[in-house]
Chain A
Amino acid sequence: MLNPNLKLNTKIFADDCEQLPIRTGFGEGLAIAGEQYKHIVALCADLTESTQMHLFKQKFPERFIEMGIAEQNMASVASGMAAMGKYPFFSSYAMFSPGRNWEQIRTTIAYNNRPCVIVGSHAGVSVGPDGGTHQAIEDIAITRVIPRMTVISPCDAIQAKKATLALAADNKIAYLRLAREKTPIITTDETPFELGKGQIMYRPDGLAHVAFVATGALVVQALRAAKFLEKKGIKVLVVNIHTIKPIDAELLVQVARETKAIVTIEEHQVIGGLGGAVAEVLAQKCPTPIEFIGVQDLFGQSGTPNELIEHYGMGLDAIMTATHKVLERKN
């Protein structure tokens, strides 16, 4: 059952569950943060509405900088603004920021220790018809490897809003990963959110056989798979990791000890993403069989989000196969 302490949306398993793009939560959150914190500024590389930054721009035009299609310049201009006491949020598609401007982020922001938030929208293959050039599935890997970088991947629009507000209060160097498509609303306004803390969202009756550790837009997939498998007699515990770095190692170890089998689920390459981060922790602290759901070292292509999720092995069937595999390895 859904963890009652988290006050999640009880309609999450229903067909008519409300859906919103995760990025809209960011846009609303930033506009509110702009009221609360005068030192917040926003920069965008010609994708203001796509990344939902227009909500901030409308309220604070004097604190918004239109950068044109120039992501490298954007990262370093943000660094310069941070040097003068501003807290810049800068956005584009994840493919271009942190994709194209990785070195500027590494040197002029992280190495230089100038707090800024990199907002990467349209992450994952679910970008759909635009095709592989626009589907960022390497962004978690390239950001979490940078020292001082916090990496956040919210599971729905409400969580994205809370993450944005939490970052605004914290002045961290951070990457905020957002998805384009409408995603079912899992959390509610009452759901707690703390940076760096994983959330056990679903618990079966009795001891779980396996834990799903998921992030971003695929958390809902993990929940629905858990519910489905429960009917087949497989008891699944579902963890939402919204903060991929610093990762909640304590919770991961606790869950690994309890279930002794893990399936990680993410819309990202299986190399270097959430799965890699979980494996790094458990290999050292609690060696546990893990199966990795994600893109298997391939590039994306055009299609509908659902077609692509299925094709690249992140759908319900793939999760069930991975579950059976990990249970075999466990025994």
Chain B
Amino acid sequence: MQHKIDNIRELQIQANDIRENIISMLLTAGSGHTAGPLGMADVFTALYFNLLRHDPANPYWEDRDRVVLSNGHICPVLYATLAQVGYFPVAELQTLRTFGSRLQGHPHREFLDIVENSSGPLGSGLSQAIGMAIASRIDTGKSGSRFFYCLLGDGELDEGQNWEAVLLANKERLGNLIAIVDRNNIQIDGYTEDVMPMLDVAKKFESFGWHTQEIDGNNISEIIDAVHRAQGVFSQPSVIIARTIPGKGVREFERKFEWHGKAPNPTEAKIALDELRTLGGKIKSEHK
């Protein structure tokens, strides 16, 4: 697969480019979410450029791994990653949130059929990934070689449906299911622990019978290692709690819940892009 990158520095460069594309598309769109997409750029890079079994030249390949994005509002990072890995031209990113665009404000597979699910309303992605994993097991009689990934936010865990799903995944012993929770500690109204304390997320999943790991979600090697370990778990669903910094890469935006749901204005975008370009240059020069 041509898109596969093993070198960590090269992956970091991809992640940095994804962040630049996120800022640029949000600036053009004039609305959308900034913090979550920037924070999850490393997870998306690790998945799409290294871990996933997929083929941008053959998006409907039956044996591909499936990725269910549950918190659809972070779609700028999904779109930027899909474009960079070769599913569609990077220039199309500038159509985000406009009338007739394939890149709807929240992903809609009627407009962009290479995404596995339409999302936006929170709390239902994990259930869908579980449905896919069960269906696959019915067909193959075992967990099979395909993996079913679900990406979800920590604020989203307020939704009770997640916990219905967490119970079922344990009951069905879904070894082919890997959930990655973006533990960035923010949601629209503030810090997660103020809005609705989530406490120790890993412990919660563990007590529900899940294989759990907690990692630095902005460290690409840690992400890759954790997913490899999760892939080796056969009789349990796996969750990786990825501690990320919301707004990662732009000091002005980092760790501020105010950046959850707004787009940068031209001045803010310039600061962000300058910083990311400097950072990109630094990674590249270290790489030489």
Contact = CB atoms under 8 A, between A and B. Distances in A.
Given A76-B161, A79-B131, A84-B135, A70 B168 contact: yes
A84 B161 contact: no
A79 B139 CA distance: 16
A107 B168 contact: no
Given A62-B138, A73-B164, A84-B139, A107 B132 contact: no
Contacts of A84: 131-132, 135-136, 139
Contact of B138 (A72, A86, A103): A86
Interface in B153-173: 160-161, 164-165, 167-168, 171-172
Contacts of B139: 84
Interface stretch (B109-117, B213-221, B251-259): B109-117
B25 interface: no
A113 B111 CA distance: 12
A83 B117 contact: yes
Contacts of A111: 108, 110, 118
Interface residues of B, number: 34
B64 to A, nearest CB: 12
A80 interface: yes
Contact of B168 (A67, A78, A81, A83): A67
Interface stretch (B9-17, B120-128, B262-270): B120-128
A213 to B, nearest CB: 34
A80 B116 CA distance: 9
B128 A77 contact: yes
Residue from the set B119, B136, B164, B168 with the largest chain A CB neighbour count within 10 Å? B164
Nearest to B108: A111
A78 B117 CA distance: 13
B18 interface: no
Given A103-B121, A107-B120, A113-B109, A76 B136 contact: no
B124 A72 contact: yes
B22 interface: no
Contacts of A67: 168
A65 B137 CA distance: 12
Nearest to A84: B135
B132 A80 contact: yes
B73 to A, nearest CB: 14
B178 interface: no
Contacts of A81: 131-132, 134-135
Nearest to A110: B118
A82 B66 CA distance: 14
A85 B135 CA distance: 8
Chain A contact-residue range equals 20 to 34
A86 B134 CA distance: 10
Contact of B127 (A41, A62, A76, A113): A76
Nearest to B128: A80
Interface in A65-106: 65, 67-68, 70, 72-73, 75-86, 88, 103-104
Given A72-B124, A104-B124, A78 B131 contact: yes
B138 A63 contact: yes
B75 interface: no
Nearest to B116: A83
B168 A104 contact: no
Contacts of B123: 72
A80 B138 contact: no
Nearest to B72: A107
B131 A83 contact: yes
A72 B171 CA distance: 17
Nearest to B113: A113
B129 interface: yes
A78 B160 CA distance: 18
Given A77-B127, A108-B118, 5 more contacts: A65-B134, A73-B165, A80-B132, A108-B117, A112-B118
The 4 closest A-B pairs by CB, nearest first: A80-B131, A76-B127, A84-B135, A73-B164
25 contacts: A41-B138, A67-B168, A70-B161, A70-B168, A72-B124, A72-B127, A75-B127, A76-B127, A76-B161, A77-B127, A77-B168, A78-B131, A80-B127, A80-B129, A80-B132, A81-B131, A82-B131, A83-B116, A83-B132, A84-B132, A84-B139, A104-B127, A107-B118, A107-B120, A108-B128
